[in-house]
């Protein structure tokens, strides 16, 4: 019962915030600077978009955005997610923040990506181009991502306008 009440409260807050055009997920440039300084963020330039959750830096390093999953090649919304990430970060200077792990099993750097005061991992979920995915120990922002995904689902943004199984395949 408590779980349903919590979900109902979150939904109510989202509806009220939406009605009054208030953002529950605003990240100012000042917040990004604080996070970057506190967590030892590194600056880099994005040179290529691989897909909706992976990009290459001008240094040749490959980045996998922590906490999100976008549709794979050949799936619905693959092109849209890839294009959206390109619009957000391609040929831009970004700030990269590590969670716990340095790399994934494919050798990609695992990072939270910020550009122009905006947290891109979160933005991809918020806009409906990605869903939350967790790979412990990199779970620092899971609760925040859950809230943003719920908002995107309620608003039927992007992938949430379709049947999830059609986008990601069988569960």
| Cα–Cα dist 72/76, whole Å | 8
Radius of gyration of the chain (CA): 16
- Omega cis (within 30) before 63: no
Q: Which two tokens stand for residue 4?
A: 């349903």
> In sequence order, what are the residues at sequence separation of 6 or more whose Cβ sits closer than 8 angstroms to the Cβ of residue 112?
65, 66, 67, 96, 97, 98, 99, 119, 120, 121, 141
| Cα–Cα dist 119/101, whole Å | 19
Enumerate the β-bridge partners of residue 51.
54
Q: Give the pairing type, strands 93-97 and 131-132.
A: unpaired
Q: Which two tokens stand for residue 14?
A: 């989202």
Catalytic center residues? 64, 72, 108
């Amino acid at each position: 019962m408590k779980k349903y009440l919590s979900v109902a409260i979150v939904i109510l807050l989202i509806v009220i915030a939406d009605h009054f055009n208030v953002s529950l997920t605003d990240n100012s440039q000042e917040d990004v600077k604080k996070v970057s300084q506190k967590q030892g963020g590194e600056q880099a330039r994005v040179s290529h978009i691989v897909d909706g959750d992976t990009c290459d830096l001008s240094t040749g390093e490959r980045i996998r955005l922590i906490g999100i999953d976008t549709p794979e090649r050949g799936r619905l919304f693959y092109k849209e997610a890839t294009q959206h990430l390109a619009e957000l970060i391609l040929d831009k200077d970004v700030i990269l923040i590590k969670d716990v792990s340095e790399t994934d099993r494919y050798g990609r750097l695992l990072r939270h990506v910020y550009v122009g005061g905006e947290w891109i991992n979160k933005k991809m979920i918020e806009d409906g181009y990605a869903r939350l995915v967790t790979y412990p120990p990199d779970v620092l922002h899971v609760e925040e991502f859950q809230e943003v995904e719920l908002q995107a689902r309620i608003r039927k943004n992007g992938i949430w306008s379709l049947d999830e199984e059609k986008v990601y395949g069988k569960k």
